[in-house]
Amino acid sequence: MQQTGEFLLAIGGILLLGLATDFLGRRINLPRVTLLLALGILVGDEVLGLIPASLSSRFGIITDMALMMIGFLLGGRLTLESLKKAGRQLAWISISAALGTTIIVAIALVAVGVSLEIAILLGCIAAATAPASTVDTVLESGSKSFFSSLLLAIVAIDDAWALLLFSLGLAVVSLLNGSQDISVSLLGAAYEISGALLLGGVIGLPAAYLTGRLKSGQPMLTEALGLVFTCGGIAILLDVSFLIAVMTMGAVITNLARHHEYPFHEIENIEWPFMVIFFMLAGASLQIGMLAELSLVGTVYLLTRAGGKMLGAWVGGWAGSADKEVRRWMGMALMPQAGVAIGMGLLAANRFPEYKQTILTIVISTTVVFELVGPVFTRMALRHAERVRLE
């Protein structure tokens, strides 16, 4: 009973603190994501230790549920109309920002004495972004501009590029180490991405025509969550990317469903409580002590990842004939980095244990910085892009 009481007290307290941070963020001009993370650090084990084990032990499943809803909402924004309008810019910027960051980070790390194998792995990890932080910052801003829509579309497919680059990086490092599992890495990436796309399509196709029938013209929340968690659960069981799977399902539904305008928009009414708990626990799990481990290599990673995103987005915007404000500010909006990068770091550490200490130290310590500061840069980019367009 005591654990139940602690669990419910922690959930209630976190939700009320979430309201307070939302109120505070509007007045001190900071994204609520950053405030929630900072507050999570304060109540986490490294400072006050107020998060009970009964809640922190469930962080993994809360994270997955929150990301599933985020992925579905992102997929719902990938309409054929938006893709026709920004398809060229979307393709060029997303690929250039991911690939450019990987190349720049890897070259810079080699230049300061990091081994080629570690530099390749860290370069690929640097391509990943944080969909949850970015989406919440955009929603909080209330922006409905072309820039914000393009940003969300880029974040929606960014995970696929990062996963593909990371799988290629694993294959290259395996080759350099003389390992024989190169084809396994490539086949694994192909299975994870294509399997997720297929699963999302298989579930999304009938859902597009069957949903929203019980209440004419408006899907019910039960339908929405049922499909999202079913699709995500099957993806996890099949060991494919659940984020790509639910994103694909959302995209299929929003493009094929003619009897309702937006796929399960009621999810937005329940998404925020999940996100409050997610970001607070994420902050509580951040290892602030790791910042002391930041050395020359970590500093170079921080600066070159930031520079790589900005330069890559600018080059992609130029190649895709994007407006000046898109070229100038999109890279800054892509700064957040979180759980996807840590997951890649753990996978690389397990595959190549000889590089474990260096990779995990750099990835975890720099993620703390990007997770806290990234949303601030995203908000700045949104405001500057809006201001330029208005002027």
DSSP secondary structure letters along 45-66: TTTT--S-HHHHTTHHHHHHHH
Residue by residue, pLDDT tens for the chain (391 residues) are 677 777 788 888 888 887 787 777 777 777 777 787 788 878 877 777 778 777 777 777 877 888 888 888 878 777 777 777 777 888 899 889 999 999 999 999 999 888 888 899 999 998 888 777 888 888 777 777 888 888 888 887 777 788 788 878 887 887 777 665 666 666 777 787 888 889 999 998 888 887 666 665 555 677 788 888 999 999 999 988 888 888 889 888 888 876 555 545 566 666 777 778 877 777 777 666 666 666 788 889 989 999 999 999 999 989 888 888 888 889 898 898 876 777 788 778 777 888 877 887 888 778 778 888 888 888 888 888 776 554 4
Distance between CA 282 and CA 381 in Å, rounded? 24
Q: How far is CA 312 from CA 112, 376, 383, in A?
A: 22, 20, 21
The answer to whether 89 touches 150, Cβ cutoff 8 Å, is: yes
Confidence (pLDDT) at 357: 78
Euclidean distance between CA atoms 76 and 58, whole angstroms: 28
Beta-carbon contacts of residue 27 (< 8 Å; ≥ 6 apart): none
d(CA 329, CA 325): 6
| Torsion angle of C-alpha atoms 318, 255, 129, 175, degrees rounded to 10 | -90
Which CATH fold would you assign to the domain 60-390?
A: Na+/H+ antiporter like fold (1.20.1530)
Do residues 137 and 382 lie in contact, with contact meaning Cβ atoms separated by under 8 Å? Answer: yes
- The residue among 4, 47, 109, 68 whose CA lies nearest residue 230 is 68
CB proximity list for 339: less than 8 A, separation 6 or greater: 63, 67, 130, 282
Cα–Cα dist 161/150, whole Å: 16
Q: Contact at 8 Å (CB) between 224 and 266? A: yes
For residues 336 and 151, what is the distance between their CA atoms, to the nearest angstrom?
A: 12
Cβ atoms of 7 and 248 within 8 Å: the answer is no
Question: What integer pLDDT is reported at residue 390 of this predicted model?
Answer: 44
